[in-house]
Amino acid sequence: MRFKTNFKKGSHLVRSLYILLIRGFVLSALIFAGIQTPLQAQEVELTQPSWWFGTAAGINLNFYQGSTQQLNSDLTVPTAFHDGFGVGLFLAPHVEFHHPESRWGVILEAAYDSRRGSFEEVKTPCNCPADLTANLSYISFEPSLRFAPFKSDLYLFAGPRFAYNLSKSFTYKLGINPDYPDQEATPDVKGDFSDVEKFVISMQIGAGYDFHLSSKDNLSQFVLSPFVSFQPYYGQEPRSTETWNITTVRFGAVFKFGKAHKSSSQQPALKTSAPVAAFNPLIHFTVYAPENIPEERRVDEIFPIRNYVFFDLGSTEIPDRYVLINKRQVKDFKEDQLEVFKPKKLSGRSDREMIVYYNVMNILGDRMVRFPSSTITLVGSSKTSQEDGKAMARSIQQYLVDIFGIDASRIKVEARDKPKIPSEQPGGDLELKLLNQDDRRVSIESTSPELLMEYQTGQSIPLKPVKIVTTQKAPLDSYVVFTVDGAKKALSSWSLEIKDKNGVVQYFGPYTQEVVRIPGKTILGTKPEGDYRVTMIGKKDNRKVLRDTTLNMVLWTPTEKEMGMRFNVIFEFNESDVISLYEKYLTDIVIPQIPKNGTVIIHGYTDIIGDADHNKTLSLARANDVRGVIEKGLAKTQRKDVKFRVYGFGENEKEAPFDNNFPEERFYNRTVIIDIIPPK
């Protein structure tokens, strides 16, 4: 029996042309590298390449599935072949474009792409073993979208695969029946598969990592980039008949090179006592300056009243930092005139707000007088004993009865070892002194809605807030924001040199974080406006990097008619979830106060207890949680006119709204502040 074996002579010509292409590409790379290397000593500051050229090489792990039996019009084997596996060569010139400061880029490859493999051995009806080897190969054009999610050397890629078939040959081997070992062996049959698709369109997805082989100070940059990709069987059926398909996993590496460029700007020299070498890490320096920088703003603040009274360790007397009035003063007490009743000991920032809080017992007494059906429960918490906790609660009960004339039957007293929502967590062993102070308190619990924050239910709900008018010094939207993206990874520190048009220089820093905010008033001083040249000076070991830009600032004083609005959302210890407690309050109270085209600035904070990095993350989570609720509420009314700015300051004591000396200050620092700014 004769079998037809017809090979395509044209495939050999295509292979020869492809080999010449690879050789020419490699030769060009060597010439390019040779030209660039002598120029390195002339460069001082370089910008990393955007274009990269190189060669990709790897292996294809080809997994056969489905079945094939009619190999061509002349040969149909007695038993169908099913699964198989093989290893093929992948070789391609490689072109890549991605800006050094961008996450996105593109990759182009034109490859010799082997999908060869061997099917698993089968038994024919004569009990003879049969084997089939497929030698499939293609010229593949593979454009991919490149994405570096962290602006780092790790990247992902995905795209289509367009393949032109080069080779489609097979080798069929029929063995002898093991029961008749003296039987003459059947010759191998070689031929070409019929009905092979000339063009195949499929897809791939993968990941790679760039290892830099040369210093980033060099003009010629060389990178080795191992990668792995996955090409599923969709679209990879090699024949138009039967069900044979191929899934491929590719492992390989790209050797690529690019040319760095001189920086387009001439940077000023850094005054330093020791010589500092230049280098050019992957960092991006930006400055945001608001159009108008207000010196101060009048704000209507809705200030929440914590339903806690904190007691000093070892004492059951109400601390003297709280405002205690006498019977004659009750008739003059008003919530909107609390500045008349100041604490004996008032220190630290946010004095206006702390005056409000330290009047908590007077606010409570005044409301209970105005709402005679309201009742409360005072729960004293003390690790010393429940009697100690009950004594703290009775001291507040006695004050309300003696001064405000509240019937004692309306005030229930209870005691606990720890509050229902404690600050000291199980298993915690750090900063126990501060946590013990936080947990030595009397909680004011009530189910009377006239005493409690709107739209909230339950015994532990905060008291209804107080509206106060304050003057906001250097509001957040007046801060100039300096961002050095990539500083944490590439720099040990960085500083700012800000020079006005008269040559007067101000210095700020050094900093280690990536974002720094400086009040515009600090830079402008007494000037109403100014143009500045800003130079960022980064350091790493004994090297430096400079970036500069221009900055224009205008000081603006808001009119008396413009009033900002401020709301506060307060959190318990180490808590970030606000949805269940504040969603209706934010939706029904806060959102209606946001004017059309207004700006909402949301800034989160924590106290100083715990790890600083954790607190930074926690504060931002709190702020984003609040933003999510507000955006959801706005979407329900089809509003898309509001601008948002969100910050998480963590425990940063320069930014925190309160000090951290007393428990009540730490509790108020566990907050998100919502500033609503009308359009200019």
Angle at 538 between CA 534 and CA 539, to 5 degrees: 155
DSSP assigned state of 449: G
Domains 279-294+474-556 and 563-680 share a fold: no
Other Cβ atoms within 10 Å of 47 Cβ, number: 14
What pLDDT score was predicted for residue 352?
A: 76
Give per-residue burial for 226-244: e unless 16+ CB within 10 Å, then b: ebebebebeebbbbeebeb
Report DSSP state, residue 153. S
Are 90 and 60 spatial neighbours (Cβ–Cβ below 8 Å)? yes
Q: Do residues 630 and 600 make contact, with C-beta atoms less than 8 angstroms apart?
A: yes
CA-based nearest residue to 598, from 678, 519, 522, 675 = 678
| CATH architecture of structural domain 308-461 | 2-Layer Sandwich (3.30)
pLDDT at 457: 65
3-state secondary structure 89-113: EEEEEEEEEECCCCCEEEEEEEEEE
Go through 186-210 and write b for each residue having 16 or more CB atoms within 10 A of its CB, e for each that does not.
Answer: eeebebbbbebbeebebbbebebeb
Closest by Cα among 184, 188, 144, 177 to 162:
144
What is the per-residue pLDDT for 364?
Answer: 94
The 3-state secondary structure of 229-257, one letter per residue: EEECCCCCCCECCCCCEEEEEEEEEEEEE
Q: CATH 3.90.180.10: does it fit domain 563-680?
A: no
**Global pTM?**
0.54
pLDDT in tens, 554-590: 887 766 566 788 898 887 765 555 556 788 888 888 9
Name the residue ranges covered by the structural domains of the chain.
10-262, 279-294+474-556, 308-461, 563-680
Q: Select the CATH number that applies to the domain covering 279-294+474-556 from these four: 3.40.50.2020, 1.10.10.10, 3.40.190.10, 2.60.40.10.
A: 2.60.40.10
Classify 81 as helix, strand or coil.
strand
> At which residue do the structure tokens 């930006």 appear?
286
Could you tell me the mean pLDDT of each successive run of 10 residues in the chain, 680 residues long?
38 47 46 39 57 95 94 91 95 92 90 95 90 96 92 91 95 88 85 94 94 79 94 91 94 92 45 49 82 77 89 92 92 81 61 86 94 94 93 96 95 91 61 80 91 74 84 79 87 91 89 87 86 90 85 75 81 61 85 92 89 87 90 91 90 82 87 87
